[in-house]
Structure 1
Amino acid sequence: MAPQIPIPEKQWAQVADKVGGPVQYRQIAVPKPGADEVLVNIKYSGVCHTDLHAMKGDWPLDVKMPLVGGHEGAGVVVARGQLVTDVEIGDHVGIKWINGSCLSCDFCESANEPLCQKAILSGYTVDGTFQQYCIGKAAHVTPIPKNVPLDQIAPILCAGVTVYKALKESKAAPGQAVAIVGAGGGLGSLAQQYAKAMGLQIIAVDAGNEKRELCMKMGAKIRGRSQAATSSRCQSRRSNPRRSHHDFYGNV
């Protein structure tokens, strides 16, 4: 029999009642998981610029209102639906942007769930992780080892997933080079860490001495300081061309 964890009827959450806000910190009801869902006690949640776009209604896809934003939540499973068998009470899990999908279309079956026409989006089409207790589809929550600090995991559930997917799709092999544009930013610095762990050579492209120093510390082989410098350095690598190019500038 699964252990029972006390669950309150009310919780605190950040709620936008209408498109454009404002966002209010107030009490709302704790949701109950459906048959294929789990209820997660959120311990930490990252904040993404997408959360602002959702609240402001910047995108053509209709956004749920009232809305609890957030899609970078790490926490502990406290309840599960009757059909859930592979997630246990007490498990540490993450809730990501893709809260759920159909699991049976061509996109889902080829590991492209974000393109699923029935995808459910955390903090956009369903309430997200800016609350103490959040619902997630059991098939889509990410297992987290219990010896890994949850505060370090939260941003990985968006930025980390984004850059890892890009590097994986590039099919770059150990020893090959990848160019990372915006290498000194949030996404870019994570991309450098993943690339290094995958045995890839890093061509870091960014501006400013502070970011250059960060890229050097992370082991980048080439650092772009200006358009001219970057062009010159890339020309010098033509004998060992890059396998892929990854742009992590958010405003390009």
Structure 2
Amino acid sequence: MLRIENLHVEYAQIPALRGVDMDINTGEIVALIGANGAGKSTTLKAISGLIKPSAGTIEFAGRSLADLVPEQLVELGIIHVPEGRRVFPRLTVEENLKVGSYALRARGGEKEARERVYTLFPRLAERRRQAGGSLSGGEQQMLAFGRAMMAKPVLLLLDEPSLGLAPILVEEVARAIDRFHDDGATILLVEQNAELALGLASRGFVIETGRIVLTDTAPNLLKNPNVWASYLGREDWEVVDERHRAPAPSS
């Protein structure tokens, strides 16, 4: 579905991406993990047309995205949920959701889509007439997800969806991502919480200083000691499976 070859991006002539190659197949959840400043968010912005690469190609369903603006990418079904939620603070919850369905491909069935959002996130239904800026951080993340759901994504780009959330809300984020996947969306997930990302994904890419340095299945990345030490925060744990981990027994 998505193919990226030799992608370069610069900010004020300073390289941010240095020849990134990635591929994502239809129906996958793929994680992109790495340290702060490694190029994760830049990769998503390049795909969604928010920044223009200095070199390389991005193709979606066999079509080059080089000359398309973000609005055209939305019409293709490429939906970007950026870091920091970015809800419209003065619009109500319901008005924020309506913004998500402005694209031609998402019009029609808006009422049914909105009710599906409210079923998945009951707190949004309770606050449907409340201003988006008055919601808690977790509720704003649910609203950002709901707005993306209204847009009927084909390819969903998620940038740090669990950032700053309490553990119980991180679980809700994980359930929402699974729901997007069940509804047929292909997902590229950027997460500082690498354990969460690889627990949800089938494959993963590791990016360092603008380069992809490792790619493998998510279970293999979870078992890789270098990945475990660098991105999962503990060296003294034994991986039981891709979703459940336990401390190694002491000697």
TM bracket, shorter-chain basis? under 0.3
Structure with the bigger RCO (C-alpha within 8 Å, sep 6+) is: 2
User: Which protein is richer in helix relative to its size?
Assistant: 2
Point out the structure with max Rg over C-alpha: 1
TM superposition score normalised by structure 1: 0.26
TM superposition score normalised by structure 2: 0.26
